[in-house]
Amino acid sequence: MPLDTQAYLLRILESGEFIRVGSSKVQSTDVRIIAATNVDLFENINKGKFREDLYYRLNTVPIRIPALKERIDDIPLLFRKFAIDFSEKYKTPNLQLEEQAVRLLQSYQWPGNIRGLRNLVGQMSILSEDKMISAEDVLHFIPSLTKRNLPLGPLGAEGEKTTFQEREILYKLLFDMKHDLNELKSLIFELIRNNNLRVPDMSLLRQLQGPSYPVQEKNNDFNSVDHQPFIESDQFDDFNADQNSKPFIVTSPNDKSFSNMEVVEENLSIEEMEKELILKALKKHGNRRKEAADDLGISERTLYRKIKQYDL
């Protein structure tokens, strides 16, 4: 109902008076309103599509009827009722449901609600030769029952192929993540070794050594593939050999081993920041002004003026 019509209806409910189209005479009425809807009125009120005062005016005795999927115990009763109606209409034997067929109907979501169930019973009454409806008959009339919104495909040759492809992609992703993690470990290990930094826990340093840095044993043979290669223990001792080396992490705020931090004040000039952004945009797009202007959200003419202004 449009918002202006809602206002007219609200006025009638408040005063009981209305004016017919094309007339100037005020008439009165005394009626009882029964309103039904299949939408969420509160959501429409928040969106501005329904008047809140009209809602509370109509909502005197609310009766909520649950959807068919919320009362699956009613499905066999409704099926029997519709089957009797169509049996009397078409002069045919009455339909009956097997137990598995009832379970299938109860597992359906029924997007058409009770009308969908009634239409299904009508189709079965006309097209079904056997009046004892089985699960196969239900699947024939509702093929969407076998469809599920699951991440894996159905069973079978095609489904197994799809599952294998997805598993292969997942394995490749895990192997790439493992490779990246080992590279990160090796990078940290090299930083510690090249900068002669102290590591208090040797076991942590052993864990940082990635497989990309294999270390030879004393017999000049590489470690076996099944074991994680480690550096010889005397190489770890070299990290702590220098007693005067600075600690890598400051654990105490009163530690005077490091100089005080120097705070560099940030330049808050709007012109400088604007100039820097223009330079970055031009560098990003290879000095193509049109693309740089689109990226900055300004016109190409404005960008050209800024370039002349800042002598870029």
Cβ contacts of residue 209 below 8 Å, gap of 6+? 185, 186, 189, 215, 228, 229, 230, 231
Angle of helix 289-296 relative to helix 300-310, nearest 10 degrees? Answer: 100
pLDDT digits (tens, 9 = 90+) for 92-111: 899 999 999 999 999 999 98
Quote the pLDDT of residue 224: 39
Helix residue spans in the chain (DSSP H): 3-15, 41-46, 52-58, 75-90, 99-107, 113-127, 135-141, 157-194, 202-208, 233-237, 270-284, 289-296, 300-310
Closest alpha carbon to 116 in 155, 152, 164, 67: 67
Residue type present at position 83: A
Residue 2 to residue 137: CA distance in whole angstroms: 45
Closest alpha carbon to 57 in 39, 45, 43: 45
Kindly state the average pLDDT of the residues 277-295: 87
Which carries the bigger pLDDT value, residue 232 or residue 81? 81
For 163, counting Cβ atoms within 10 Å of its Cβ (0-12 exposed, 13-18 middle, 19+ buried), the class is middle
In the chain, the domains with their CATH numbers are 3-58 (no CATH), 68-146 (1.10.8.60), 171-240 (no CATH), 270-310 (1.10.10)
Evaluate whether 152 touches 163 at the Cβ level (below 8 Å).
yes
> pLDDT band for position 148 (50/70/90)?
low
Give the DSSP letter string of 193-231.
Answer: HHTT---S-HHHHHHH--TTS--B-TTS-BPPTTS----
Question: What's the mean per-residue pLDDT of the chain?
Answer: 78
**From 61-65, 185-189, 198-202, 249-253, the region with the lowest mean pLDDT:** 249-253
End-to-end CA distance of the chain: 60
> pLDDT band for position 298 (50/70/90)?
confident
Q: Is 115 a residue whose pLDDT tops 90?
A: yes
Residue 135 to residue 95: CA distance in whole angstroms: 14
For 281, counting Cβ atoms within 10 Å of its Cβ (0-12 exposed, 13-18 middle, 19+ buried), the class is buried
> pLDDT band for position 215 (50/70/90)?
very low
- Note the pTM of the prediction, 2 decimals: 0.42
Q: Residue for token digits 């004040």?
A: 265
> pLDDT band for position 236 (50/70/90)?
very low
Question: Using CA of residue 245, residue 249, residue 250, residue 252, what is the dihedral sign?
Answer: negative
> pLDDT band for position 1 (50/70/90)?
confident
Structure tokens at 14: 């408040």
Angle of helix 270-284 relative to helix 300-310, nearest 10 degrees? Answer: 120
Kindly state the average pLDDT of the residues 31-58: 91
Evaluate whether 277 touches 267 at the Cβ level (below 8 Å).
no
Structure tokens at 122: 């009508």
Which carries the bigger pLDDT value, residue 156 or residue 173? 173
Kindly state the average pLDDT of the residues 246-262: 57
> pLDDT band for position 297 (50/70/90)?
confident
Instruction: Give Cα 288 to chain centroid, integer Å.
Output: 37
> pLDDT band for position 70 (50/70/90)?
very high
Instruction: Give Cα 137 to chain centroid, integer Å.
Output: 37
**From 36-45, 142-151, 284-293, 297-306, the region with the lowest mean pLDDT:** 142-151
Calculate what percentage of the chain has a pLDDT beyond 70. Answer: 71
Calculate what percentage of the chain has a pLDDT beyond 90. Answer: 32
Kindly state the average pLDDT of the residues 199-210: 58
